[in-house]
Chain A
Amino acid sequence: MNVDISEIQTFDHDVVVIGAGGAGLRAAIECSDQGLNTGMICKSLLGKAHTVMAEGGAAASLGHTDERDNWKVHFRDTMRGGKFLNQWRMAELHAQHAADRVRELEEWGAVFDRTSDGYINQRPFGGHRYPRLAHTGDRTGLEIIRTLQDYGIHQGIHVHQECTALKLLKDSGKISGVFGYWRDTGRFVLFRTKAVIMATGGAGKIWRVTSNSWEYTGDGIEMAYSAGAELIDMEFAQFHPTGMIWPLSVRGILVTEGVRGEGGVLLNSENERFMFNYTPDRFKEETADSPEEAQRWLDGDASARRPPELLTRDVVAKSIMKEVEAGRGSAHGGAYLDIASRRDGEYIKRKLPSMYHQFKELAEVDITKERMEVGPTLHYMMGGIAVDGDTQMTAVPGLFACGECTGGMHGANRLGGNSLSDLLVFGWLAGKGAKDYVSQLFRPLQIDPDHIEEARREAVGPLNQEGGENPYLLHEELQNIMNDVNIVRTADGLKRAIESLEELKPKLANIYAAGSSQYNPGWNQALSMRPMVMVAEAVARAALIREESRGAHTRLDFEGEREEWGNINIMICQNTDGSMDARKVGRNSPPDHLAKIAYSNLEDLEGGVHV
């Protein structure tokens, strides 16, 4: 029996933005500014998205704390941090526009910390040559999302809160709608739209130890993939080196890189500042080789090089793991992070207030007096939906994407601070891209009732079962499988994971959620299993193909970067029979002007015109 569309609550928009974190909000603001009737769907309440968790800052070459900085140095840092696997055009646009996007936030009411002459202050961060992160203490993400939210609600955006999107609908290949449900009532809802901007973030919940909340289940990546979009760089998942590790219940919660930016050092059980032993050759020239030099840098000596604690996240995370493996880990299997002996208590409370609060409340540790215990936690996915750099459009006409759910911008490893700037720049560009696309549509789009009925039937499945798999336990099973797709990987482990995922798939059809559809977390969990399993498979398959270690992807059986892999991205798409296709795709050679910047000496760039 087919469902009668007229009985489903329906909204009409020119564009629907799925996700209301920084990327979604910035995209929606741009769409509305461009005159589009804009709808925005969010799974949680407005203003609760994971952007609030971003602590350190937004990277932009404002040049307020070091005049030598400019977009070219930012671009070069980003490419080097990404191990030259980034999409060149995206990294270029990002570095060029980040400063304007940050300044624009100030015009919308954001209150960043100030320099002594009153401009936006900038903080040093891993992989960034100069202090580059515009910040508000250690709650920059909250400042940004609240600014976008408070500005956005006056721009005529229609916000649909606590609404989960389930499926994209198409008319002859073009996006024509979104089907979803209200979490509070469980009722289904249909959005007729000419374009969709996916801004759903990552899929951290497929791993056990993660800084991500329940929302990060990869829905947007799965919806785009099922609609025909391609995914790129899925093997690269960033483990942030410093998550809380004790007590167990807080394991994974983020400890901002700002702690190290403000002078914090990593120590092993022998009290050794071990990061000096792990500086990769590529960064030796720019990294301090003694605690004395690192101290001079902290004191503001421009000739001193940066401390090794500020190496890129992949390097620091693996170094901590190696110390633990060598038996020099902290009491609960991580490393010690010490800011107490480096800065006075008042300074720490002022610059890192939420870290102070978080450790005090959750771990009963006073970070102005004691060391923290930290270890790697899954934080961010570099991989995601493949898009055109200029328009942010995917391979599906009318489907755009921005923010963490996309891939390509960050290559094999993202620099801290580059995600807040990423979401501003590409949210903005996605809005422009959607406007251009919608403007050239001339034929009304249709929605096929059969597609809605199919999605509806699949969604109510778990509620109509008499009994079956517990969605919470299935989620645990998935997280166990992903132990083989963790920070270090082997072919055997990855094959085992792929096999286990295949065995898990049939169970998804037999998930049972007790109770009604009204605000039912069990049912919500059941519906997020399919996206999570799909993303997990994509990560495992891509990781098995890439036979080298690069950035966030470490293969014990293929150590070190291999030159031939530097020219290859792994792309994933869905075959017509529903199976997953993962393949190697050669990279285009970079445009000359960008290659020149990426491989040039710093001295050549520092004289560049400040943009």
Chain B
Amino acid sequence: MSKYTFQIWRGNSSSGEFVEYKTEVDDGMVVLDVLHRIQAQQAGDMALRWNCKAGKCGSCGMEVNGKPQLACMTRMNTYLEQDVITVQPLKTFPVIKDLVCDVSWNYDQNLNIKPFKPGLSDSDGRYRMSQEDVDRVQEFRKCIECYLCQDVCHVLRDHNRKDVFVGPRFMIRAAGLDMHPLDVEDRIPDIRDEFGSGYCNITRCCTDVCPENITITDNAIIPLKERVADRYYDPIIWLSNKVSGLFQNDSKI
């Protein structure tokens, strides 16, 4: 057993500071275990979110030594005893108290995405899809909504453009719907105009922090950008749309 030093951000929406705690750390502990120990022994009212403690619910996202992480999946043996470990709330969202942020903006974005709309089923009422076709979508559906990608996204974090870009989480949500083999809804105009696909400049920071190892940028955002480009900027399709648009206005590619 060894003693570690933590600097934990304590405060609320108006003010706060780092407070130092020293605590024993046992073999196999993760950061969340340490926070719980500090809570039980030294700071009963220290606020933090957690649920499953197994990397499956995405509640305990925070910044440990400046890096967005799930506290439940961050092992203490990745730090040295002489290190000072800083723990602070996600920077991109307003703080409520201590390590807890107001992430309600994310829930608002989800509401703006047109829901799943299935096409016709087989005559027996069942749907058929091949595993190969659902593999791609299943990658996006692994998302545990921890919002670490939202936290690290430059558009949201550094430029605070929550008014124009939904962030990586909801780009993969949109991709998961758009690439769903049964879905027939058209979201391409929204992806460009409402979700701000053009704002992502492909730095892949979101992919780096994803605890589920979803290849967010390459597998979701770039293909969505391509779909937008095909619809709006491909000269041949543009021309054919113009021509066919003389006869109908709701063409879907």
The reply to whether A362 and B115 form a contact with Cβ atoms under 8 Å apart is no
The reply to whether B59 and A45 form a contact with Cβ atoms under 8 Å apart is yes
- Specify the main secondary structure of chain A where it touches its partner: loop
Residue of B nearest to A252 (CB): B53
For the complex, give the distance between the alpha carbons of A49 and B73 in Å: 18
The reply to whether A246 and B28 form a contact with Cβ atoms under 8 Å apart is yes
The reply to whether B30 and A520 form a contact with Cβ atoms under 8 Å apart is no
The reply to whether A519 and B47 form a contact with Cβ atoms under 8 Å apart is yes
Cβ contacts under 8 Å, A250 to chain B:
28, 30, 53-54
Smallest beta-carbon distance A343→chain B, Å: 17
Q: Does A357 contact B (CB under 8 A)?
A: yes
Cβ contacts under 8 Å, A562 to chain B:
none
Cβ contacts under 8 Å, B202 to chain A:
none
Cβ contacts under 8 Å, B104 to chain A:
161
For the complex, give the distance between the alpha carbons of A512 and B168 in Å: 43
The reply to whether A514 and B45 form a contact with Cβ atoms under 8 Å apart is yes
Cβ contacts under 8 Å, A45 to chain B:
49, 59, 103
Residue of B nearest to A358 (CB): B54
For the complex, give the distance between the alpha carbons of A118 and B132 in Å: 10
Cβ contacts under 8 Å, B116 to chain A:
108-109, 150-151
The reply to whether B44 and A522 form a contact with Cβ atoms under 8 Å apart is yes
Residue of A nearest to B104 (CB): A161
Q: Does B46 contact A (CB under 8 A)?
A: yes
* Chain A positions 129-161 with a Cβ under 8 Å from a chain B Cβ: 136-137, 139, 142-143, 146, 150-151, 153-154, 161
Produce 1/0 per residue, A56-72, CB < 8 A to B: 00000000000000000
The reply to whether B115 and A154 form a contact with Cβ atoms under 8 Å apart is yes
Cβ contacts under 8 Å, B141 to chain A:
111, 136, 142-143, 146
The reply to whether B128 and A470 form a contact with Cβ atoms under 8 Å apart is no
The reply to whether B30 and A354 form a contact with Cβ atoms under 8 Å apart is no
Residue of A nearest to B130 (CB): A118
The reply to whether A521 and B47 form a contact with Cβ atoms under 8 Å apart is yes
The stretch that binds A, out of B93-101, B157-165, B188-196, B224-232, is B93-101
Number of A interface residues at 8 Å Cβ cutoff, please give it. Answer: 64
For the complex, give the distance between the alpha carbons of A93 and B208 in Å: 47
Contact A516:B45 (CB < 8 A) given known A45-B59, A154-B115, A362-B54: yes
Cβ contacts under 8 Å, A46 to chain B:
107
Partner of B131 from A113, A143, A215, A354 at Cβ < 8 Å: A113
Produce 1/0 per residue, B37-49, CB < 8 A to A: 0011000111111
The reply to whether B115 and A109 form a contact with Cβ atoms under 8 Å apart is yes
Residue of B nearest to A64 (CB): B126
The reply to whether A114 and B27 form a contact with Cβ atoms under 8 Å apart is no
Contact A213:B51 (CB < 8 A) given known A109-B115, A111-B180, A362-B73: yes
For the complex, give the distance between the alpha carbons of A249 and B115 in Å: 40
Cβ contacts under 8 Å, B130 to chain A:
114, 118
List the interface of chain A (C-beta within 8 A of B).
Answer: 44-50, 52-53, 103, 106-109, 111, 113-114, 117-119, 121, 136-137, 139, 142-143, 146, 150-151, 153-154, 161, 184, 213-215, 246-250, 253-254, 353-354, 357-358, 361-363, 470-473, 513-516, 518-523
List the interface of chain B (C-beta within 8 A of A).
Answer: 12, 26-30, 33, 39-40, 44-59, 73, 75, 96-98, 100, 102-104, 107, 110-111, 115-116, 118, 125-131, 134, 137-138, 141-142, 144-145, 173, 177, 180, 182-183
